[in-house]
């Protein structure tokens, strides 16, 4: 009887294993494997495939030409490389040595996208899923800040608030730093952090690695403990896919906010909620707003609409135009912001407008900072901008 009992206990696990694996068999492969020299090897078992390729944001980019408004433009798409078939139908590819970073990739088997079945780490960017991995070549490099380390950890909460202006409940993500719950009388400054077109309240937490970046910076004494509020910036949506009443499919066509009017009018609902439900240090010197792409433009507009609310402004690969906004920008700088920080990639189409805003500020004698990084309109830049920006807040 005891033997049967053990057998049944084992069966409990085995049946579950079968159930899990039925929809996708496990693999005995290690992929990706980060090698000692920081090259990375990718492996896929595909004995029947004619061609196996890899596309990823660590590969040399491919220039892709396209036309818009009669202009010929070029976009740098992630590269594609071929894997080689080895014994047993296992295809592999080893990358060049990589620097510390969070990287995305997918396989292409005979031209069709296939997720790496050996790697459970996946992230959604708007409507696109990719496998991801982080690599830190040394302590303190970019990749190191995106990983989880044995430091005090903050809490990441998915919270609903009521927006009277928009007439609905909406979801936002809130990072509270380590120790927040243990110090109910302490007051914390707040960074409002906005995502890009078609994204949602999970964008900065997942691909943005906000919790990891803040945990690590705060643990090192490089950032002031702060609350980070990440709303859903597509104002006609409620929440991320799967968390909303209407289970929409995000696309760039249906998910971007066509105007910022809704942002300006409804943003106080968010601030009211946060200041009521969290123990917040209020006021200009304790409030920052920043965002990427569409969220950068929204941050720019919010700072102009409420020039005395945000003492720190971060515009990551997204700005509003200066023309027509001169008086509003004058008002922003009349309040003497502690930091007005623009970040943009040199290969980003937004750079033209970013430089124009910086030049306009320079001509006026306004202390705007323009940080020019390599690359284009990509998460790698936005994680870096957050890491740099967060260190300058509330000091």
Q: Which stretch binds a second copy (CB under 8 A): 88-96, 176-184, 228-236, 358-366?
A: 176-184
String of contacts with a second copy for each residue 123-162, x by CB under 8 A: -xxxxxxx-xxx------------xxxx-xxxxxxxxx--
Q: Which CB, 66 or 327, lies closer to a second copy?
A: 66
Pairing of strands 227-231, 190-194: parallel
Shortest distance in whole angstroms from residue 302 CB to a second copy: 17
Q: Which helix (H) or strand (E) holds 180?
A: none
Do the beta carbons of residue 80 and residue 108 sit within 8 Å? yes
Q: Which is nearer to a second copy, 55 or 286 (CB)?
A: 55
Binding segment for a second copy among 9-17, 334-342, 366-374, 383-391 (CB under 8 A)? 9-17
DSSP-derived secondary structure letter, 245 = S
Q: Using the rule CB under 8 A, is 309 a contact of a second copy? A: no
355 touches a second copy (CB under 8 A): no
Tell me whether residue 26 or residue 283 sits nearer to a second copy (CB atom).
26
Report how far apart, in Å, the C-alpha atoms of 4 and of each of 7, 9, 17, 107, 281 are: 5, 9, 19, 44, 62
Residue (of 120, 122, 118) closest to 44 by Cα position: 118
CA distance 238 to 170: 5
Contact call for residue 122 and a second copy (CB under 8 A): yes
Cβ-Cβ contacts under 8 Å for 2 (sequence gap 6 or more): none
Where helices occur in 73-121 by DSSP H, the ranges are none
Q: Choose which of 318, 366, 373, 393 interacts with a second copy (CB under 8 A).
A: 318
64 versus 334: smaller Cβ distance to a second copy = 64
Residue 285 is a binding residue for a second copy (CB under 8 A): no
Strands, DSSP E only, in 275-338?
Answer: 287-292, 312-316
Terminal alpha carbon distance of the chain: 69
By CB under 8 A, is residue 269 in contact with a second copy? no
The answer to the question of residue 26 lying near a second copy (CB under 8 A) is: yes
Which of these ranges, 8-16, 306-314, 325-333, 366-374, lies near a second copy under the rule CB under 8 A?
8-16
């Amino acid at each position: 009887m005891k033997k049967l009992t053990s057998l049944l206990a084992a069966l409990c696990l085995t049946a579950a294993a079968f159930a899990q694996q039925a929809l996708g068999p496990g693999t005995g492969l290690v992929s990706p494997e980060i090698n000692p020299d920081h090259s990375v090897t990718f492996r896929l078992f595909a004995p029947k495939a004619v061609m196996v390729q890899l596309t990823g944001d660590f590969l040399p980019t491919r220039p892709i030409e396209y036309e818009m408004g009669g202009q010929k433009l070029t976009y740098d798409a992630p590269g594609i490389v071929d894997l080689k078939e080895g014994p047993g139908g296992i295809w592999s590819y080893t990358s060049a040595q990589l620097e510390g970073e969070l990287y995305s990739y997918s396989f292409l088997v005979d031209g069709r996208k296939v997720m790496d079945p050996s790697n459970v780490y996946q992230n959604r960017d708007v409507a696109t899923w990719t496998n991801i991995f982080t690599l830190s070549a040394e302590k303190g490099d970019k990749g190191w800040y995106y990983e989880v380390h044995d430091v005090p950890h903050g809490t990441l909460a998915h919270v609903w608030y009521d927006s009277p202006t928009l007439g609905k409940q909406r979801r936002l993500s809130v990072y509270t730093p380590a120790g927040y719950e243990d110090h109910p009388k302490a007051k914390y400054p707040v960074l409002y952090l906005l995502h890009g077109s078609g994204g949602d309240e999970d964008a900065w937490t997942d691909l943005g690695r906000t919790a990891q970046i803040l945990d690590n910076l705060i643990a090192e004494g490089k950032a002031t403990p702060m609350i980070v509020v990440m709303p859903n910036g597509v104002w006609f949506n409620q929440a991320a896919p799967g968390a909303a009443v209407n289970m929409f499919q995000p696309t760039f066509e249906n998910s971007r906010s066509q105007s910022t009017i809704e942002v300006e009018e409804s943003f106080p609902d968010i601030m009211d909620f946060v200041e009521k439900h969290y123990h917040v240090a209020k006021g200009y010197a304790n409030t920052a707003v920043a965002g990427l792409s569409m969220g950068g433009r929204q941050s720019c507009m919010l700072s102009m609409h409420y020039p005395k609310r945000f003492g720190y402004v971060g515009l990551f690969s997204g700005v509003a135009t200066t023309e027509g906004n001169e008086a509003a920008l004058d008002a922003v700088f009349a309040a003497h912001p502690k930091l007005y920080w623009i970040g943009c990639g040199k290969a980003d189409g937004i750079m033209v407008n970013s430089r124009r805003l910086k030049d306009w500020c320079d001509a006026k004698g306004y202390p705007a900072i323009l940080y020019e990084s390599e690359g284009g309109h990509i998460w790698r830049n936005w994680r870096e901008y957050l890491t740099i920006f967060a260190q300058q807040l509330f000091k």
